[in-house]
Amino acid sequence: MMPESVDNGAHYSHAPHTVPIDDWITERAQEVDSYLQKMLPETSVEPLELHAAIRWASIGAGKRVRACMVYAAAQACQATLDTNVQQALHRAAAAVELIHAYSLIHDDLPCMDDDIMRRGKAATHIEFGEAMALLAGDAMQPLAFEGFSEMPVAPTLVVQAVRTLAMSIGSQGMAGGQAMDLLSTGGKLDEQVLAEMHAKKTGSLLAASAQLGAIIVGAGSAKRESLRTYSLAIGLAFQVVDDVLDVTAPSYQLGKTAGKDVVADKATYVSLLGVDSATALAKQLHQTACDATISFGRRGEHLRGLADFIVQRTY
Amino acid sequence: MMPESVDNGAHYSHAPHTVPIDDWITERAQEVDSYLQKMLPETSVEPLELHAAIRWASIGAGKRVRACMVYAAAQACQATLDTNVQQALHRAAAAVELIHAYSLIHDDLPCMDDDIMRRGKAATHIEFGEAMALLAGDAMQPLAFEGFSEMPVAPTLVVQAVRTLAMSIGSQGMAGGQAMDLLSTGGKLDEQVLAEMHAKKTGSLLAASAQLGAIIVGAGSAKRESLRTYSLAIGLAFQVVDDVLDVTAPSYQLGKTAGKDVVADKATYVSLLGVDSATALAKQLHQTACDATISFGRRGEHLRGLADFIVQRTY
């Protein structure tokens, strides 16, 4: 958009960004936030406290990587996105962010990670109590699926979208990964099991986000396969970077409690490989992800930019 | 099926049952149980403990009223149900039972009702620990929606089914009712607010179950409206009877802890109206429900039988 942004040299992506990726991510984050503002029940609607808790956990914070993945994947698959497709993408972006936010609420509960801080403010159960936090998370799952039912695209695509999201967050997806994580305390996992756990816990929703973008624009199987390779690599890279940041970044920078994996004696990429090798692994996964976007040509720029952002982030 | 069952006089329904309703309910319960046995991930699939917890909570117990509602509504709307429709009904029946079972898991958690007994055995969090119980519930919601995506009916009907279920269990449905229930401790609710709470907490999923049966057979709006009247009345009757049983039936008969509403000082129909008036209200709601089924003629027999069962049950 601005002349100086054609190539700012800050990213090692394969094609120059037309808009600096940080700006693009910020714009998408604002977009999904304003969409959530509109779609979520107001805090003046009963039950007031439940709706306040849902908004507390969903709006105004977060990197919105999953929402960006929806948009970036759709753009990679199709040059122009008409109004209906854009509306459907907003719903998908809001859905994956709602699901992510619900998983964070439940993850922070005393019986899980017992964390008091999230996204730079009090965790939902600290602000609203455990029971209300539990219910807020429970109510956010159906909100995501309800949004799907309003997508102005062919019903066959909506059904595919429902299936993709549902499978990615169930017992063999995100919730399954959380269960594996519970059992990992004590540092007994090897690298292969750790990768499988993260593929489920974090990778599956990220991969589903990319697939949702592709489904909504009706992309074919070759494009969807490239997106799968990309998103699984970037999902794992995301987690490796998380593990590194947990030991190298302070809490105020992360917006959540730092060092908690060490305290909980959890298996992490840092505990298995050390900081240097974990950082090298993240770079290698970044390369795999970017290679998978080559076939999209210039339209894959935001996928590559997201990959850069995820590996270079400091929070 | 058996001659003596043409009119056994045990029910005050408007049309005679061709099969005694208790037998019909038992058959439907076995049907949904065997479907859940097939559709749920095996306990030999990772994460083993999560899948064991899901099966513990979902299979082999429960009155299966919601599943029966799906089948009875479909039968009321359409005389013959072809194989595809039957398959879709099984998925819907399994879905509403999974949702109900997940809500019971979360409801029994220490931060909610803190109950140790459910359906005659240990509550899921007692058997598997709080964290695993939380995750089992979390994973059962998407399993329900995943099942919808496999329904062999027109995609537009699947989208309607997704929307109906999602709206019935969210912040203005089941989860919203749970939140209202949380705030009811101290007995401060009046009868109108109590009815609204139950309409959300119990009524909305029961009503959705009936609507799902109607949606799958492609029923029109008049039939769906009759079913809505029926199911909301029966949903409230269900709760009124629950409140009566809580003070009149022993725990071993209920399969859950009796008298807990009194201990928690919760507003109930018994605390507001007394046992006699609450029982009279249940009968009146039963009549409203049965009246709403008249237009279905003889095909509404199972709806009426279910209404009888719900009001006359002792557990």
Q: Could you report the predicted ipTM of this complex, rounded to two decimals?
A: 0.91
The predicted structure's pLDDT at residue B72: 98
Model confidence at B310, in pLDDT bands (50, 70, 90)? very high
Neighbours of A257 (CB within 10 A): 18
Q: How far apart are CA B89 and CA B76, in angstroms?
A: 13
Rounded to the nearest angstrom, the gap between the alpha carbon of residue A29 and the centroid of all alpha carbons in its chain is 12
Comparing A297-301, B16-20, B67-71, B120-124, the range with the smallest average pLDDT is B16-20
Q: Which of A214-228, B12-26, B267-281 has the highest mean pLDDT?
A: A214-228
Distance between CA atoms of residues B171 and B184, nearest Å = 16
The answer to whether A155 faces chain B, any CB pair under 8 Å, is: yes
B116 touches chain A (CB under 8 A): no
Q: State the Cα–Cα distance between residues B309 and B288, nearest whole angstrom.
A: 15
Contact by Cβ (8 Å): B197, A50: no
Residue B266's beta-bridge partner residues? Answer: B185
Give the whole-angstrom CA distance, residue B118 versus residue B106.
Answer: 12
Residue B18 pLDDT: 64
Flag the least confident range among A4-18, B66-80, B169-183, B257-271: A4-18
- Measure B186 CA to nearest chain A CA, in Å: 17
Contact B138 A109 (CB under 8 A): no
The answer to whether residue B19 scores a pLDDT higher than 70 is yes
pLDDT class for B1, splitting at 50, 70, 90?
A: very low
Helix or strand (DSSP H, E) at B117: strand B117-118
Task: Say what the pLDDT of residue A298 is.
Answer: 95
Confidence of residue B189 (pLDDT cuts 50, 70, 90): confident
Q: Which residues pair with A266 in a beta bridge?
A: A185
Q: Map out the domains of chain A as residue ranges.
A: 17-310
Q: What's the CA gap between A247 and A253, in Å, rounded?
A: 12
- Over residues B72-101, mean pLDDT: 96
How does residue B187 score in pLDDT terms, banded at 50, 70 and 90? low
Paired strand residues for B185: B266
Per-residue pLDDT of chain A (315 residues; tens, 9 = 90+): 333 333 333 333 344 456 789 999 999 999 999 999 999 999 999 999 999 999 999 998 788 999 999 999 999 999 899 999 999 999 999 999 999 999 999 999 999 999 999 988 999 999 999 999 999 999 999 999 999 999 999 999 999 999 999 999 999 999 999 999 988 776 567 889 999 999 999 999 999 999 999 999 999 999 999 999 999 999 999 999 999 998 887 777 767 776 777 667 778 899 889 999 999 999 999 999 999 999 999 999 999 999 999 998 877
Cα–Cα distance measured from residue B245 to residue B229, given in angstroms and rounded to the nearest whole number: 24
CA-nearest of B38, B156, B164, B140 to B90 is B38
The better pLDDT of the pair B270, B252 is held by B270
The CATH number that domain B17-305 falls under is: 1.10.600.10
pLDDT at A62: 86
Taking the mean position of all CA atoms in its chain, how far away is CA B212?
13
What residues 219-248 of chain A have any CB closer than 8 A to a CB of chain B? none
| Per-residue pLDDT band at B6 (split at 50, 70, 90) | very low
Domain A17-310, what fold? Farnesyl Diphosphate Synthase (1.10.600)
Distances in Å between the Cα of B251 and the Cα atoms of A54, B115, B121, B126, B310 are 35, 12, 11, 17, 18
Interface of A with B in 94-113 (CB under 8 A): 103, 106, 109-112
| A162 at interface of B, judged by CB pairs closer than 8 A | yes
Under an 8 A CB cutoff, do B146 and A138 touch?
Answer: no
User: What is the value of pTM for the model shown?
Assistant: 0.92
Question: For position A186, what pLDDT does the model report?
Answer: 65
